[in-house]
Amino acid sequence: MYDLTGGVRIGKFHSRLSSDAVHDYLPSLNADRISSGFVYYDASADDARLTLEVLETAVLRYGAIAANYTEAIGMNHDTSGNITSVTARSRIFNHAYDTDPTPVAATHIHAGASTPPTTPAEPSTSDTTTRADAPSHTPAEPSTSDTTTKKTSSATLTSEQGDGQIEFEIRAKVIINATGAWVDAIQSLDSNHHQHTVRPAKGVHISFDTSKLPLKAAGVLPVKSDRRNIFIIPWDDAPYAYVGTTDTDWDGSIDDPQCTPDDITYLLDAVNHYLDTPLHSTDITATWAGVRPLLNKEHHNNKQARTADLSRHHSVVDSESGLITVTGGKLTTYRKMAKDAVDRAISHLHSTDAVTQRSHTKNIRIIGSEDPSALQELRQDTTQALLGLSPETATHLINRYGTNTPALIDLADSYPGSLEPIVPQMPYLIIEVIWAVQREMACTVEDILARRMRMSFMDTAATRQAAATISNILAAAWNRDIADVQRDVELFTRSLQDQNVSL
């Protein structure tokens, strides 16, 4: 399967390895535990960058409007029971993405725009309920929107709260609920009862410095105690590796899944069975947990079924009121999920708007990868030298920003010293902080270090150091008082402690 879907495109096919060859790829393994292995070729992805570039493509290429820190709090219906609008609540931040100190709502901000509008933005018709900034330990999934028709929707401010929030109504001909683990909560706003369409499954990962877990490739290891596998994976752009994942039922808060001592023990026991030098909890540099929205229908009458055995397929369903819900699936099938959801939305519009176009996501290259030849040219040593970058810095930026790298370098010209790392042990640069603020709707310290970069998943101590380092930069970029930014740093530091409470 991997040969057909990936290896053949790069001329690589799986092959059997001797125990010595396996040990060469994974030098931390105990050679006595290895009889043989296989090597195959898979893809790696920075899920945070993928999410952001999909959203940016929708905004800059197709006229979508991305609403950050905005949640659906109600569904409204006509006298026939058909859904007509969503009531949304948006948090107001005391900074804008220009020099205007007037408080603005996060929904007013367009990716790539220099000045936010002063009235609530018209929403995308395809996903008014996506939580663009979910908790840091649950990276947001890419938007399932790839077509928008702005004429079919509008927004009206309904109230301005005294607690730093505004509420407004978003009217649309078609509304899609594409909210991952939160789909049941959104469906309950429509039908007033919980649907139980997903069975939340918690997954936990633990990170280590590569001095403790050296790897030349990712490895798949069977768990001795059960019928599962775990992975040991090097981070692409930093000297860290991580072990994961667990797959267990989760009945706690979807907003705050926790890595427990039992989770850590399970992973350490599983990986230490194969290691020459055992890992200990004191070696862990960071932990994170997330929730998978697994389809529940196949095992609805079998509550004893393991979450690991539940389908990773997705479904698209219509409610009686016309709300379209897409759920299940996984990151690698996000385009198929998008196509099915958008095609279903278009079918709803046939009768009134004579819409005949179908989703064309398979023909769309996301921003940063539109021109393969330009991307290849950027990777050449001569181009890197022209940009004034070291090979390491160039590789880091090109892998993260693709053909947007020259624009980021141009921005750095206005900020002397911004091509330096935020902290020495991490590859992330100061200019990436400024880029995240100006172009990627970053509103908090956590947005930057956990959702635009993946630093908090690698090393908690280094992330705390980075948060303190960038406070002055953010105060200037957001036009906020330094004391206000430092309070945000303190909040983020406490959230890091909560995220790693088991350590």
Contact indicator for 132, 167 with CB cutoff of 8 Å: no
Which positions ≥6 away from 494 have C-beta within 8 Å?
Answer: none
Q: Which amino acid is at 305?
A: A
Q: How many domains does the chain have?
A: 4
Query: Residue for token digits 């050449």?
Result: 380
291 and 437 co-located in one domain: no
Cα distance between residue 91 and residue 415, in whole Å? 30
Residues 438, 440, 444, 449: what is their CA dihedral angle, to the nearest 10 degrees?
Answer: -110
Give long-range contacts, CB 8 A cutoff, 24+ apart: 367-374: 367/53, 367/56, 367/57, 367/60, 367/61, 367/402, 367/404, 368/53, 368/401, 368/402, 368/403, 368/404, 369/53, 369/402, 369/403, 370/403, 371/403, 374/403
Q: Return the structure tokens found at 461.
A: 């101590």
List the beta bridge partners of residue 169.
Answer: 87, 156
Residue 409 lies in a domain: yes
Structure confidence at residue 312 (pLDDT): 66
Q: Which residues of 428-459 are buried (b: 16+ CB within 10 A; e: fewer)?
A: bbbbbbbbbbbbbbbbbbbbbbbbbbbbbbbb
Contact 107, 118 (CB under 8 A): no
3-state secondary structure 254-304: CCCCCCCHHHHHHHHHHHHCCECCCCCHHHEEEEEEEEEEEECHHHCCCCC
**Domain assignment of residue 306, yes or no:** no
Q: Which helix (H) or strand (E) holds 104?
A: strand 104-105
Mean pLDDT by 10 residues, the chain (503 residues): 70 86 93 89 86 93 90 95 94 50 36 32 32 34 34 62 80 94 94 84 96 95 88 92 91 90 95 95 95 74 51 85 93 92 89 70 92 90 82 91 94 95 95 96 94 95 96 93 94 88 65
CB 76 within 8 A of CB 85: yes
Indicate which CATH number applies to the domain containing 432: 1.10.8
Residue 315's SS3 state is strand
Is residue 378 within 8 A of residue 396, CB to CB? The reply is no
3-state SS, residue 383: helix
327 and 417 inside one domain: no
| 3-state secondary structure string across 444-501 | CHHHHHHHHCCHHHHCHHHHHHHHHHCHHHHHHHHCCCHHHHHHHHHHHHHHHHHHCC
Residue 344 placed within a domain: yes
Let me know if residue 304 belongs to a domain.
no
187 within a domain of the structure (yes/no)? yes
The reported pLDDT for the residue numbered 159 is 63
| Sequence-distant (≥ 6) Cβ neighbours of residue 402 within 8 angstroms | 53, 367, 368, 369, 375, 378
Based on the fold, state whether residues 386 and 400 are members of the same structural domain.
Answer: yes
Question: Which of 249, 268, 295 finishes a domain?
Answer: 295
Instruction: Please indicate, yes or no, if residue 307 is contained in any of the structural domains.
Output: no
Q: What 3 state SS string does 396-438 have? A: HHHHHHHHHHHHHHHHHCCCCCCCCECCCCCCCEHHHHHHHHH
Give me the sign of the Cα torsion angle 424, 425, 430, 433.
Answer: negative
Query: Which DSSP letter does residue 352 get?
Result: H
Task: Give CA–CA dist 14/3, Å, rounded.
Answer: 7
Q: Output DSSP code: residue 110.
A: P
What element of type H or E holds 241? strand 240-244
SS3 annotation, 122-177: CCCCCCCCCCCCCCCCCCCCCCCCCCCCHHHEEEEEEEECCCCEEEEEEEECCCEE
Whether residue 436 lies inside any domain: the answer is yes
82 and 95 Cβ atoms separated by less than 8 Å: no
Domain identity same for 495 and 396: yes
The structure's pTM equals 0.83
**Whether residue 448 sits in one domain with residue 428:** yes
Q: What is the CA radius of gyration of the chain?
A: 23
82 with 128, same domain?
yes
- Of 295, 323, 340, at which residue does a domain stop? 295
Domain holding 252, by residue range, is 198-295
Residue 337, both tokens: 């999920």
179: left (phi over 0), alpha (psi -120 to 50) or beta: alpha
On whether both 280 and 352 belong to a single domain, the answer is: no
Pair 34, 68 in one domain: no
Could you tell me if 267 and 246 are in contact, meaning their C-beta atoms sit under 8 angstroms apart? yes
What's the confidence (pLDDT) of residue 494? 92
Q: Is residue 472 part of a domain?
A: yes
263 and 358 co-located in one domain: no
Same domain, 387 and 492: yes
Q: Do 24 and 168 sit in the same domain of this protein?
A: no
The answer to whether 17 and 29 have CB atoms below 8 angstroms apart is no
- State the Cα–Cα distance between residues 54 and 326, nearest whole angstrom: 18
Q: Given this model, what pLDDT does residue 289 score?
A: 94
For residues 440 and 492, state if they share a domain.
Answer: yes
**CATH code: domain of residue 220:** 3.30.9.10
